Amino acid sequence: MIPPDMIAFLDRGGPALWLIAALSVLTLALILWKIWHFSLMGAWAGRATEAAIAHWARGETDQALATVAGRASLRARLAHSAMTARLDPKLDEAAAREETTRVARADLAEARRGLRALELIATIAPLVGLLGTVLGMIEAFQALQSSGNRADPTVLAGGIWEALLTTAAGMAVAIPAAMALSWFDSIVERLQGDMEDAATRIFLRGGK
C-alpha cells in the first residue's frame, strides 16, 4: 500500500514521475535478481575448476571430470564441456574447440540476461525526467500567461520546482542503474576471461 504522502508527491510530478517511480522499482528488482542469478551461476566460485585443471594437467582425467561434474558454476560447466569434448574420439581438436566455444557462448548469453533491461532504464530514465520537466515548465508558463498582470512569482516558482522534480528523479534512478550495469558487465567480462583461460589450459595440457 502506497502511503498518501507518497501518492501526493508523485502526483506533483505528473505521469512522468509515476513512470520513473515504476522504473525505480523495476531497477531494484533487476539488481537484486541479477545478484541472485550470478550467485546461482557461481560467478564468484572458481576453486573446483582450478582443482579440476590441476588433475587434468597431471593426466588424472577421471578425477578432473568428477571434480566439475554436476556443478552449476559457469567455469566448472565450461571446464567439464571442454574436457568431455577433448576426450570424445569422434571429435578432432578443431571440432572439440568449436563445441567448447558453443557452450561458452550459451553460458555467457545466460550470464548477460537482464543487462539490456538495466541499460535501457539507465538510458530512458533521465529522458523521461527531462520530458516531465519540459511539460511541467510549459504548464507553468501557460498558467503565468493566463494570469496576465496578476501573475504571482511564488506560484510560478512552485510550478517550476515541481517540474524539476522529474529530472532529479530520473537521474536518481539512472545513476544506480548505470553503476549496477557497469559492475555486472565487469563480472561477465571476468567470467569470460576465466572461461577462455580454462579452455586454453585444458586443450594445451591434455589430450587424447
DSSP H helical ranges for the chain: 4-40, 47-57, 61-68, 74-87, 93-111, 115-147, 153-205
- How far from the centroid of its chain's Cα atoms is residue 15's Cα? 26
> What value, to the nearest 5°, has the Cα angle with vertex 49 and ends 45 and 55?
150
> Predicted confidence band at 89 (pLDDT cuts at 50, 70, 90)?
confident
How far is residue 107's CA from residue 101's CA, in Å, rounded to a whole number?
Answer: 10
Residue boundaries of the structural domains of the chain = 4-205
Residue written as grid cell 577421471: 62
Mean pLDDT of the 67-79 span: 89
Mean pLDDT of the chain: 86
Record the pTM. 0.83
Taking alpha carbons only, the member of 66, 40, 32, 41 closest to residue 192 is: 41
Q: Could you report the per-residue pLDDT of 126-156, keeping only the tens digit for each?
A: 999 988 888 877 777 776 666 666 656 665 5
Q: Residue 59, SS3?
A: coil
Quote the CA–CA distance of 159 and 148 in Å, as a whole number. Answer: 16
Is pLDDT at 71 greater than 60 in this prediction? yes
CA distance 114 to 102: 21
Report the distance separating Cα 4 and Cα 48, nearest Å.
Answer: 52
Rg over CA atoms, the chain:
27
Q: Tell which wins on pLDDT, 65 or 158.
A: 65
Amino acid at position 155, single letter:
V
